[in-house]
Structure 1
Amino acid sequence: MQNLIPLKQEEESATASRSFYEINITTYHRFFFINAAGTYFIIDSVLSDIRNRYLEAMEESVNDTSGILASLVATDPSGTPDTELLGNILQRAKNRKLEAQIYGLKKNGIELEVYVTDRSGIVVYDSTGKNIGRDYSKWNDVLLTLKGKYGARSTKEDPNDPQTSTMYIASPIYNKSNITGSLTVSKKKHVVDPLIDVAKEKAIRGIPFIAGITILLGVFISFFITYPVRKLTNYIKDISNGFRTPFPELGNTEVKTMGLAFENLREQLEGKRYIESYVQSLTHELKSPLTSIRASCELIIEESRDNQSTKLLHNIYKEASRMNDIIERLLTLARIENKKELSNLELISTDDLLSEVYDIMEPSFKEKSIHLSIQSEKSVPLLCERFLIVHALTNILENARDFSPDHAIITLKILVENQKVFFRVEDEGTGIPEFALDKVFERFYSLSRPDTGRKSSGLGLAFAREAILLHQGEILIKNRTDRSGTICEFFLKAHNSLT
C-alpha cells in the first residue's frame, strides 16, 4: 500500500513528460510547416519578380540611351530630323570589335537598334535599313512621344515566341522648343536572360542556407519559449500532488508573469479554502451544543413557575435559535460558494415559484401587517434549482420586510424581456445609505433594523447573489427615486420553451 502513492506520482510525472514532449513535437512540426510555406512563398515571389526587376533596369538604361541619341539629331530647315551624324556614329559603333564579360553575359557587339521618325510619324532613319518610309504614328512609342509624353512599347515579332519580345523606348527630337520628331531605341529582352539565370541560380543555392538558419533560429526560439513553460507545468504538477516545491526561475518572460499570477491565485484559493474549512468545522462544532441548549431551555420552561426565570429562558432559547439560524445560513452559503455548476435542475413555472415564496413569507408579513403585492403578466417556465431560487427570493423579501414599517406595501413584479425573466422587489423602507450600496452583498455585512436596532447575520443577500450568479444571472440593489425605499432586481434566463 505504501508504494501506491509514489507509483501514481511517477505515472503522473511520466504522463506530464509525454504531454510536454508531444507539445514540443507539435510546436516544432507547426513551425517547420509554417517556415517551409513562408520560405516557399518568399522564394517563389523573388524568383517570379527577378525578370521584371531586370527589365525595369534595362528600360531605364535604354531610356537614357534614347535621350542621349535624340540630342545628337539636328533638324534641317524643312523641319525634318537630320540623321546623317547619328547614322555615322551608329555605323562606327557596330563596326567596332567588342568583347565584354558582364557577369554571366558575354557581349560581342552592340545589340541596340534605332529608328527616327518625323513629326508625322514617318520613319526617316532605321539602323537596320528595313523600315524607312513606314508610318509608325500609331505605335505607342512614337504616338506618345510626339504628344510630349513618355513613349514606350513592348512587341513580339513572333506572337507565339516570348524570346522575340523587344523593348522600344522613344525620346523627342527638338528644334528649339518644338518637337520635330522622335527617336526610338529598341533592344531584345532575351539579352538579359543569362543575367536572370545567374540571379535565379544564386537565389536557389541560397535557399537551403536560409531555410537552415531559419529552422535553427525557430528551434532555438521554440525551446526558449517552451522551456519555461515546461518548468511552470512541472511546478503546477508538483503543487497538485501536494509537494512543497519552490517557485521556479522563469526569467523575465511572459511565462513568469503568468506563473506569478497563478501563484497569487493559488495563495488566495488556499487561504479561502482554509477559511471555508475552518468555518465549516466551527459551525458544525457549534450546532451540537446549541441544539442541547435549546432542548434544555424547552424542558426547563415547561417546568418553571418563576416568571422572571421563564423570561430569561425564553431569551436564551431565542438567541440560541438565532445562532442556529446563522449557522445554517453559513453552511448553506458555504455549500453554494463551493458549487461549480448547477446540479438539481428542474423546470418550474414562475406561478409555482411565487406561490411557494408567498406561503413561506405570509406569516412573517402578517406580523407586521405588511401587504405583499405580486404582479405578473403571465406564467413563464424557468430551468433552475428550485431550492436556490426560492431561498434567494425569500432572503430578498425578508430584507425588504425588516426595513419596511408596519402596514407598508412590498411589491414583487415579474417582467419578461429578451428571453430573460426579471424579478423586481420594491419596498417602502428607509432606503440604504450611499456608503453601504456597494457592500450589501458582502458576507456578514448588515445594517441596523429601524424598528429593533439589531443587525441580521449579513448572509441573506450574499446567498441571493451567489445563487443568481450560479444561474448565469445578475442582481443589483438601489434606492427608489419616487419615494423612500429600495429596489432589488435580478434576472434569470427563460427556458427555451418560452415563445
Structure 2
Amino acid sequence: MSLSLRIFIIYMLFVALCSYFVLRTVMEEIRPGVRQSTEETLVDTANLLAEFLREPMLNNKINNEFYADIFRAYGQRTPNASIWGVNKFAVNHRIYVTDKNGIVLLDSKNIAVGQDYSQWNDVYLTLQGKYGARSSHEIEGDESSSIMYVAAPIKEGDEIIGVVSVAKPNRSVQPFIDRTQRRLGILGGGLILLGLLSGAIFSWWLSRELRKLREYAVNVSQGERAIIPESKIASGELRQLAQALESMRSELDGKAYIERYVQTLAHELKSPLAGIRAATELLQSPLLQTPENDQQRQRFINNIDSESLRLQQLIERLLNLALVEQQQTLHAPKPIDLNLLLDELLDNQMARIAQQQTQIKKDYTPDARVIGELFLLRQAINNLLDNALDFTPRAGVISVRTHKENDQLILSITNQGEPIPDFAFARLTERFFSLPRPATGKKSTGLGLNFVQEVVALHSGNLELHNTHNGVVAVVNFPLVLSSNLG
C-alpha cells in the first residue's frame, strides 16, 4: 500500500469519526436547545399576561365575557407568517387563568373553565412561590404530542391571587428543528467531503514530494546522474532532507570515486611504466658503439618517448573523464552552432587529414544549434573525429552530417574502414576498452568513447555506433533547440 493511500485512509477515518461525533452531538442538542428557547419565550409571555390580568383579578372581572372573547379571538387568529422558510398559519399558544385555589377561571380554548388545576405542576408550584412548569402528552406514549406549560403568579403585593399559564405544543416548533437538522446535515456532509478532498490533495502533495526524493535516491543508488529536486520541494523539512541526501551523496560519491580512480590509474600506469623502466635499464647497460647497437638504443629511446606520451594522454583523459562524470548538470549552457564547431575541429585536424589524404564530405542542415557547454562538446566531438581518422584507411572518406528529425538534431560521423567486430559492440563505451588501430596495431587509452558518452548524456542526448556497408557511423542525438528557446 502506497504512503499516500495510507495517509489518506488514516485522515479519512479521523475526519469521519470526528464528524460523526460532532454531528451527532450537535443534532442531539438542537431539540433541547429549541425547546429551551421556547420555554424562555413562554416565561416572558406568562409574566406579561400576569401583569395585564392583575387588575381584573383584583376587581373580580376576570369572568367577564370581554376577556373571554379576547382569548378566544386570539386562539382563532391566522398569522400567515413565513419564518425562515417555515409557514405558520395558526396561533399555538393556549392560555388559562386560575384563582388562588387553582380553579380555572379563563381558558383560551374554553375547555377547562371551572376545573381544578391545583394539582398540575405549573399551577401547583406557582401557588407555592416557585417556578411552575410542566410537560404533558396529549396522547399517552406519543412523544410528538407533548405540550410545554409555563406559569407566572398574579400578585397583589406579596400575595399570590392567581396563576396564568401559557402552553405551547412541541409539534409547533418541530418544523424548525427538522429544518435546522436538515441544513446542518447538508452543511456537515459538505464539510466532510471538503475535508476528504483536502486530505486527498494533501496526501497526493506529500507523496509526490517523497516520490521525488525516492526517485533521486534510486537514481543515485544505480549510479545514474541525479539532480536534487530541492527547487521542486515546497516543504521546509523535506527540503532539508533533500539537502542532507545531496550532501551525503556527495561525500560518499567523492570517497568511492577517488578510491576507484586511484585503483584504475595504478593499474593502467603499470604497463607503460614497466616499458619505460625496462628501456631505461637496457640503456644503462654498456653497449658498444656499433650501428646495430645505435639502432637498438634509438629504439629504446623511442619506446620511452611513446610510453611517456601514452602516460600523459592517459592522465589527461582520466582527469577530463573524472571531471565530466562528477558533473551532474551543465554549468554554463548556451546556444552553440554545431556546424561552426565541426568546421573548427576539422580545420584543427587539417594537417593529419592532408597527411592521410583523407577526403571530408560535409552535409549540414541550417540552424543546427544545441544548448550546451562549448568546452565539453568540443572535446567530445574531437574524440569522435580522432576515432574516425584512426580507423579510416589512407585516401579514405569521412562524412560529417547534421540533420533534423522530429524533435532531435542528429550529428553523424561516418568513416570508411573495417566494421566493428560483434564481440566489441557491448564494450565500445567501456572504460579502457580499445580496438587496435589498423595503421599501427596499437590501442588507445580506451577513454575516448566513454568520455563522449558522458558528455552526450549531460546534454540530454545519446550516442550510437553502427556498422555500415563499408565502414562505421557514430550518431549523436541532441534535443532540438527552437528559436523561441534561445531568449
- Using structure 2 for the length normalisation, give the TM-score: 0.45
